[in-house]
Amino acid sequence: MIYHNPVLKGFYPDPSVCCANGMYYMVCSSFQYFPGVPLFESKDLVNWSQIGHVLTRPSQAALEQVPSSGGVFAPTIRHLNGRFYMVTTNASTGENFYVYTDDIHGAWSDPVAVAQDGIDPSLYFEAGNAYFMSNGTDADGVNGVVQCQIDLATGEKLSPSRCIWQGSGGRFLESPHLYRIGDWYYLMAAEGGTEYGHMITYARSKSLWGSFTGYPHNPVLTNRNKAPYPIQGIGHGDLVQDARGNWHILSLGFRQQALWMAFHHLGREVFLTPVTFDEEGWFTAGTDGTTAECYDIAGDFAQKPLPERSFAAPDWYREWCFLRHPRMEQYGLTQGSALLHGTEVTLDEPGSPTFIGLRQQDFSGTVQCVLELDKGEAGLTCYMSEQEHYEVALRRGETGITALCRLNIGGVHQIQKEIPLTGNSARLVIRMEPACYHFSVVTESGETHLGTGQSKYLSSEISSPFTGVILGLYAVGDNTVRFTNFSCVYTET
């Protein structure tokens, strides 16, 4: 079966995977968005369905006033004796913690804190013992991949933190994961920063405490020297074995807008790369150490295209997200419509505006929605951060209701066009292309183009955050706005 990368499109960075009950389960970072840590299920490592989120209660992660790209970083999911564990960092509070559940489709526990610094934590289980690792500083002040034994029931450290590897020499050593395969312990990590120099490296040892010997040909996987090439930033991976005994790395990566357009605004996505072990126990990955656009793997299944998103399903909002901790009384989410109650909090500030969004998953497509407005402002947004977002909206001014296109770049607002409406209802449309967004309004008189925004200004290369564009509904002011007939359809590339 030939599959195409990425296997999960859009802003789903830092993937981690585990196997249980004949299924694969994956988690990804969520940063300032709530619910936190989207959770996925798959039978084949290629087709992923979101089954919920891990952090569904505000008490599980403090997100108040967290700026863009703050909040919940780099989760790891593991399974032991029927129980799932998810360990992560709240980078804004500096806390490493884990939660657990015995029902992967149910609620997760309150956080259990671990008093070890660093980010990108992981868990390893062996012989009834639990080990916690992160990229941090050990008890002697040595930086690197740091590990300690913990009491899994309480999070209490049972041993001092000890540095077990300092990487292959790349900057920003992070994302450590430990595996026992045969006689060897393999320690896989990321280096180079989650940008164009990103890479996956590893080392191995006969002891889980080391010393670890680096793979002689590190990095084992990177696209940093494949330029020009649309797939870049490959790194931060997790190793997984499929039901046929074959090995793979699930990693993050990103797609440039085009061959010679080095901007990415969809965020870091999930890529699948095959792994092969040699007779000496070292493994190689991908196509000469790089991740390609497609691979042929064993299996009788087909890769599914992106579905159309709408309000039609009873639980359509399962994949949607809010900014920070929402006040749920501001939302009425039912099959067929979304009722949003606005406040004075806007998209320009690190609070929790009335906003619900869906990750943009491909470069080309159309988003549209009908809304009714009596006062204030409401519309559709292409949201990257408080400083960078584009809107097509309706608002009531002194002379009545108008439709407008507004670009916010670096905190500078520009209204490209604003026209009066004769009624209080209209269809707002965003047409997406790799290089730009086109905004328009549709009334009984027809469709009127209101403006265009270049997507590069919502990219991580220009905008400071390293998340991805969220396509959202929002309302501002003392108003109640009903959104209906929502549709998001992609022309897949």
What's the pLDDT tens digit per position in 353-385? 999 999 999 999 999 999 999 999 999 999 999
> For a pLDDT cut of 70, what percent of the chain falls above it?
99
pLDDT (tens digit per residue) in 86-132: 999 999 999 999 999 999 999 999 999 999 999 999 999 999 999 99
Asked whether 247 and 277 are in contact (CB, 8 A), the reply is: yes
> In this predicted structure, what is the pLDDT of residue 260?
85
Structure-token pair, residue 408: 């916010």
Q: Provide CB contacts within 8 A for 108, sequence distance 6+.
A: 54, 55, 56, 60, 86, 99, 100, 101
How confident is residue 300, by pLDDT bands cut at 50, 70 and 90? confident
> For a pLDDT cut of 90, what percent of the chain falls above it?
94
pLDDT (tens digit per residue) in 407-424: 999 989 999 999 999 999
Task: Give the pLDDT mean for 302-319.
Answer: 95
Asked whether 321 and 347 are in contact (CB, 8 A), the reply is: no
DSSP string for 469-491: -EEEEEEESS-EEEEEEEEEEE-
Torsion angle of the four alpha carbons 29, 32, 35, 36, in this order, in degrees rounded to the nearest 10: 30
pLDDT (tens digit per residue) in 22-69: 999 999 999 999 999 999 999 999 999 999 999 999 999 999 999 999
Asked whether 38 and 28 are in contact (CB, 8 A), the reply is: yes
Q: Provide CB contacts within 8 A for 229, sequence distance 6+.
A: 223, 259
pLDDT (tens digit per residue) in 166-203: 999 999 999 999 999 999 999 999 999 999 999 999 99
Average pLDDT, the chain: 96
pLDDT (tens digit per residue) in 428-442: 999 999 999 999 999
How confident is residue 259, by pLDDT bands cut at 50, 70 and 90? confident
Phi-psi region of 29 (alpha: psi -120 to 50; beta: other; left: phi over 0): beta
Q: Sheet holding 231-241: strands in order across?
A: 231-241, 247-255, 269-277, 283-285
Q: Provide CB contacts within 8 A for 442, sequence distance 6+.
A: 368, 426, 427, 428, 429, 448
> How many Å apart are CA 315 and CA 455, to the nearest integer?
30
pLDDT (tens digit per residue) in 120-175: 999 999 999 999 999 999 999 999 999 999 999 999 999 999 999 999 999 999 99
> How many Å apart are CA 360 and CA 488, to the nearest integer?
9
What domains can you pick out in the chain, each with its CATH number? 2-296 (2.115.10.20), 309-490 (2.60.120.200)
User: Rounded to a whole number, what is the distance in angstroms from the first to the last CA of the chain?
Assistant: 19
Closest CA to 272 of 31, 47, 36, 23: 47
Residue 199 buriedness (CB in 10 A; 0-12 / 13-18 / 19+)? buried
By DSSP bridging, strand 322-323 and strand 294-296 are unpaired
| Dihedral of alpha carbons 179, 181, 187, 190, sign | negative
> In this predicted structure, what is the pLDDT of residue 493?
60
> In this predicted structure, what is the pLDDT of residue 395?
97
> How many Å apart are CA 135 and CA 114, to the nearest integer?
14
Residue, of 390 and 464, whose pLDDT is higher: 390
> How many Å apart are CA 269 and CA 267, to the nearest integer?
6
**Residue 492: how many other CB atoms lie within 10 Å:** 12
The helix/strand/coil state of 223 is coil
> In this predicted structure, what is the pLDDT of residue 465?
85
Residue type, 240: V
How confident is residue 225, by pLDDT bands cut at 50, 70 and 90? confident
Task: Look at 83-87, 104-108, 463-467 and tell me which has the smallest mean pLDDT.
Answer: 463-467
> How many Å apart are CA 356 and CA 474, to the nearest integer?
7
> How many Å apart are CA 312 and CA 334, to the nearest integer?
9
Give the distance from CA 181 to its chain's centroid: 29
Task: Give the pLDDT mean for 336-351.
Answer: 96
> In this predicted structure, what is the pLDDT of residue 298?
82
> How many Å apart are CA 189 and CA 74, to the nearest integer?
12
Task: Look at 49-53, 97-101, 271-275, 296-300 and tell me which has the smallest mean pLDDT.
Answer: 296-300
Phi-psi region of 37 (alpha: psi -120 to 50; beta: other; left: phi over 0): left
For the chain, what's the residue count? 493
Which residues are the active-site residues?
14, 174
> In this predicted structure, what is the pLDDT of residue 375?
95
Residue type, 122: S
